[in-house]
Amino acid sequence: MSGPLILAVESSCDETGIAVVEGGRRIHSNVVASQTALHAATGGIVPEVAARAHIRWIVPALDEALADAGATVADVDAVAVTYGPGLAGSLLVGINFAKTLAWVHDRPLVGVNHLEGHLYAAWLVDPGESERDEPPLPLVALIVSGGHTFLVEMTDHLTYRLLGETVDDAAGEAFDKVGRLLGLSYPGGPAIQRAAEGATRHDAAFPRAWLGDSYDFSFSGLKTAARRTVEAARAAEGLAPDDPDARLSDAATAELAWGFQDSVVDVLATKTIRAARELGARSIVLGGGVAANAALRARLAGESDALGVPLVVPRPALCTDNGAMIGAAGARRFAAGDLATLALDARPSLPLARRAAEVSAARSGG
Ligand code: KG4
Ligand code: ZN
């Protein structure tokens, strides 16, 4: 494999990621310093705590990533960095760090959309892994993370059309909130998956918001239903409504975790498969932290197989935030001549794509 060698920096949320990636695909190194343990104490991310942790870990992460890759900053063709969406304070740490490296070593700077990174994680190849084909285009991608849930059609590299998105909570946010309701550890997603895997009964029924035949998603009703169901289960076990020390039995927790997860997975998978079928997609890509979910992966694997469309899902550690995915997307931006200046600023609400109707309205000046 050849192509530009990219040094990539990711600090949009609570993982400090530095990676060296070649040709937008081959990982030479990928160091992720996770703040999960730090945020477990508060049951969620405190933005200032996250930003300070990035300051603490970013230099050691760079040293390790360069050592793992056997490279120096002078060897790389460009420095790529996430500039949004994400937490402003966290983004600024990575952006300033990347700017400094680019300026001191006289390398081009590339700004990368974090969501485009989650999508391009599907192109990554691990060190030592044999080369495999790229996901064929056009493709349909489901990106599901802690802050975002959307379906896009990708017709060409760096070209997207938004099909639908969540109208309220992101899927990962719902996992995290329901995990907290069930008294599970932070973050809720992996904890709910583990609990659900222990369920012996599979008859907890949670609602699904289909929103007609749109490709939009909604998880706030499910969250409310989960709260009511957990309260009823606690009452049935004679537990006080909000005593955190009185935990629901493991059996009830497992069954509710399974029912909630099944509802989220059902809606995500059904809409993704329908989009792939209706648009004649040649592949389906799954990305973002929730794409690490084993039930979602298994369900989509089965349904995409039945449809005859290949599913490309990065291994779980490449689904959650990491620097390599920024190196993958950064290489495409670099090849397209899409360079940033040293004025690059954080864009906390940066979108990936707009709906077709919004694109044509903007073109006609509407
Ligand atoms: O992409 P990501 O690492 O960070 C954002 O950009 O948001 O996604 C984090 C989200 C969290 O909400 C976490 O609970 C969820 O991904 N997550 C999972 C799993 N692993 C991480 N959700 C369900 N099942 C999992 N195994
Ligand atoms: Zn992410």
Cα of 57 vs centre of ligand 2, distance in Å, is 18
Q: CA nearest 293: which of 312, 313, 267, 272?
A: 313
pLDDT exceeds cutoff 60 at 185: yes
pLDDT in tens, 252-276: 999 999 999 999 999 999 999 999 9
Determine the residue of 113, 175, 318 to mutate for testing ligand 1's pocket, defined as the one with the most ligand atoms within 8 A of the Cβ atom.
175
Residue 182 to residue 179: CA distance in whole angstroms: 5
Ligand 1, atom 10: nearest CA belongs to which residue? 146
Q: Is the peptide bond before 187 cis (omega within 30 degrees of 0)?
A: yes
Residue 226: pLDDT above 60? yes
Residue labelled with tokens 């009703």: 221
DSSP structure string for 187-199: SHHHHHHHHHHT-
The dihedral over CA atoms of 247, 251, 253, 257, expressed in degrees to the nearest 10, equals 170
Name the percent of the chain lying above pLDDT 90. Answer: 90
CA dihedral defined by 269, 272, 278, 284, rounded to 10 degrees? -110
Contact 61, 34 (CB under 8 A): no
CA 111–ligand 2 middle distance (angstroms) = 16
For 139-314, CATH number out of 3.10.20.30, 3.40.50.1980, 3.30.420.40, 1.20.120.450 equals: 3.30.420.40
| Cα end-to-end span (Å), the chain | 45
User: Where residue 359 falls among pLDDT bands split at 50, 70, 90?
Assistant: low
> Residues with Cβ < 8 Å from 298, sequence gap 6 or more?
none
- List all residues 6 or more positions away from 92 whose beta carbon is below 8 Å from its beta carbon: 51, 346
Q: Within 10 A of 125 (CB to CB), how many other CB atoms are there?
A: 19
Tokens coding 104: 């001191």
* Strands 15-22 and 5-10, sheet pairing: antiparallel
Q: What's the rounded mean pLDDT across residues 108-133?
A: 97
For the sheet containing 15-22, what is the strand order?
26-34, 15-22, 5-10, 78-84, 109-113
Pocket residues for ligand 1 (CB within 6 Å)? Answer: 13, 145-147, 172, 175-176, 187-190, 193, 288-290, 292-293, 320-321
Question: Over 50: is that where the pLDDT of 145 sits?
Answer: yes
Residue of 122, 152, 171 lying closest to 310 (CA atoms): 122
- Note the pLDDT of residue 42: 87
- pLDDT attached to residue 259: 98
Whether the per-residue pLDDT at 245 is higher than 90: the answer is no
Q: Is the pLDDT of residue 366 over 60?
A: no
Per-residue pLDDT tens over the stretch 14-57: 999 999 999 999 999 999 999 988 888 888 899 999 999 999 99
- State which H helix or E strand residue 18 sits in: strand 15-22
CATH of 5-126+317-359, one of 3.30.420.40, 3.40.1390.10, 3.30.56.10, 1.20.210.10: 3.30.420.40
Q: Identify the three-state secondary structure at position 45.
A: coil
Radius of gyration of the chain (CA): 21
What's the confidence (pLDDT) of residue 354?
A: 86
Please tell me the predicted confidence (pLDDT) of residue 241: 82
The answer to whether residues 320 and 91 touch, using CB atoms and an 8 Å cutoff, is no
Question: Residue range 294-313: average pLDDT?
Answer: 98
Domain with CATH 3.30.420.40 in the chain: 5-126+317-359, 139-314
For residue 219, is pLDDT > 70? yes
Res. 190: pLDDT tops 70: yes
Identify which of 176, 320, 326, 352 to mutate to test ligand 1's pocket (most ligand atoms within 8 A of the CB).
320
Query: The tokens of 72 are what?
Result: 């120096």
* Mean of all residue pLDDT scores within the chain: 95
State the average pLDDT over residues 57-67: 98
- Cβ atoms of residues 15 and 9 within 8 Å: no
| Residue 85, pLDDT score | 98
Q: Per-residue pLDDT tens for 305-352? A: 999 999 999 999 999 999 999 999 999 999 999 999 999 999 999 999
Confidence of residue 1 (pLDDT cuts 50, 70, 90): low
